[in-house]
Amino acid sequence: MATVVPGTVVPLQAIILEGQREYAMFPDLMRRHHWVLEPHQYKSKELLIAQLSERVIAPAEAKAKELAQK
């Protein structure tokens, strides 16, 4: 991730099972690159599927539109 994110300006959002931790450098990537979104944590695969559109896809699409305007 640390080698791909700086050169690939596309929205990135980690999807993490509740209780797990994100990639160790993820907070640093978020500080350095405004296209890296807050991780989405989910409690179950059923809840992830139910929330995917609203909490993962919509924020990524909004960030993509923002990036396209710059």
In the chain, where are the structural domains located? 10-69
The pLDDT tens digits for 15-70 are 999 999 988 888 999 999 999 999 999 999 999 999 999 999 999 999 999 999 97
Q: What is the pLDDT of residue 60?
A: 96
Strand ranges for the chain from DSSP E: 15-17, 40-42
Q: What percent of the chain has pLDDT over 90?
A: 71
User: 26 with 1: CB under 8 angstroms?
Assistant: yes
In the prediction, which pLDDT does 37 show? 96
Rounded CA separation 6/53 (Å): 26
Measured distance CA(20)–CA(27) in Å, rounded:
15
Tell me if 1 sits within 8 A of 55, measured CB to CB.
Answer: no
